[in-house]
Amino acid sequence: MLQYIRKGSGEVLVFIHGFLGAKEIFSEVIDELSSQYDCIAVDLPGHGESKVEKESYSVYFYAKAVADVLAHEGIKDATWLGHSMGGYIVLAAIEKGIAPINRAILAYSSDLADTDEQIKKRTNQQQEIADNGVEHFVNNVLGAFFGENPKVEHVNFARNIAYNASEEGLVMALETMKNRPYQHNLVEQLKIPVLVIEGSEDNVVKPIETSNPNVKKVKTKTGHLGMLEDSQTFTQTIREFMS
C-alpha cells in the first residue's frame, strides 16, 4: 500500500502529487485546509516513502493504489486533487469509475496525451536518470517548474522532496506519462464539478481548454508549483470551490 498522511476532519480531500513530488509538497496547503477538511495525501510508487511494487504502472494502476488507501481508511467518497501527473491519475479514476469522486481539482495539469516530441523528451530523461542518477536529473530540470524569480526556500524545499524519489520510480513515472490516454473528450463530458488551476508562468504543461460548464478555471501568477509559490491563493481557490 502507498504511504500516506491523514490530517483534519470534515469532507474528505485527497491530494495526489505529480512527477518529482511527494505528499510533503502539499504540507502548507494541508496545514491550512485541515481545519475544515479531512485531508489525505499519498506518496506515489517510487516517490517519497512509497516503494515500487510492480514491474510497470499506468495511470489506472496509480489510481487503484490511491483508491486502496481510501478503502483502507473506510472512505466511500471524496474530492480528488491531482497536481500535474496527479491530475492524469484523477482523470483515470473518473474514467474507469475506480473510486467515487464528488469533485475533481486538476492543478497545473493537462487532459492531453503526450505528443511525439514529449515522448522523445521523456525517453531521453529516462536515459539521463539511468546514466547520472536522481540528484543530477533533479538539478537539471527543477528550475523549469517555477515561475519568474522563485524564492530560494521554495526551490530547496521542492529539490529535497525530489531527491527522495528512486531512479526506478522516476523512470516508471515517465513511462506512465508517455502512455497516458487522451482525456480531453472525458473533460468535455464530465458531470461533476471540476476546478482547473493553471499558472500564468507555467511552461511545463499546456493549459486545459474546455467549454464544459461544470469546469471552473482559475489562474495563479505562478509556475508549475503554485502550491509552493503562492500557497495562500492556491488554498483560497480550493476553499471557494469546495464551498
Quick: pLDDT tens for 12-65: 999 999 999 999 999 999 999 999 999 999 999 999 999 998 878 899 999 999
CA geometry: angle 152, 43, 231, nearest 5 deg: 40
Give the whole-angstrom CA distance, residue 80 versus residue 99: 10
In the three-class reduction of DSSP (H, G, I as helix; E, B as strand; rest coil), residue 113 is classed as coil
Residues 168-205 pLDDT 10s: 999 999 999 999 999 999 999 999 999 999 999 999 99
pTM above 0.85, yes or no: yes
Q: What is the pLDDT of residue 119?
A: 98
Give the whole-angstrom CA distance, residue 39 versus residue 70: 11
Place of cell 516513502: 49
Closest C-alpha among 48, 30, 43 to residue 4: 43
Closest C-alpha among 130, 86, 123, 131 to residue 104: 86
